[in-house]
Amino acid sequence: MRESSVIQAFLQEGRDEGREEGREEEAKRMVLEIVKDRFGSFDPTLKHFVDAISDIARLEKLMIRAGKVAKWEDLLA
């Protein structure tokens, strides 16, 4: 029985990590979609900048900021 609880804990950890990665990817996608919707297009530099961020809270703040900036380049500042 001990072995199955260890395996279950391992599987749960994997599921939790997968959900977190999914949230991160969705947040990155949303930042870029907001920018695309507001400005029509953006330089690949912005995508590289967003892809380098792994902190979901930071990505969420970037989403809010993307709705307020005058041009997409201001997100890089």
Contact between residue 12 and residue 45 where contact means Cβ atoms under 8 Å apart: no
Exposure string for 37-68, b = 16+ CB within 10 A, e = fewer = eeeeebeeebeeebeeeeeeeebeebbeebee
2, part of any domain: no
When pLDDT is averaged across residues 22-48 and rounded to a whole number, the result is: 93
User: Is pLDDT above 70 for 65?
Assistant: yes
- Quickly state the pLDDT bin for 1 (edges 50, 70, 90): very low
What average pLDDT is seen over the chain?
87
38, part of any domain: yes
16, part of any domain: no
Structural domain including 74 reads 24-77
7, part of any domain: no
6, part of any domain: no
A 10 A CB-CB count for 17 gives: 10
41, part of any domain: yes
Counting the structural domains of the chain, the total is 1
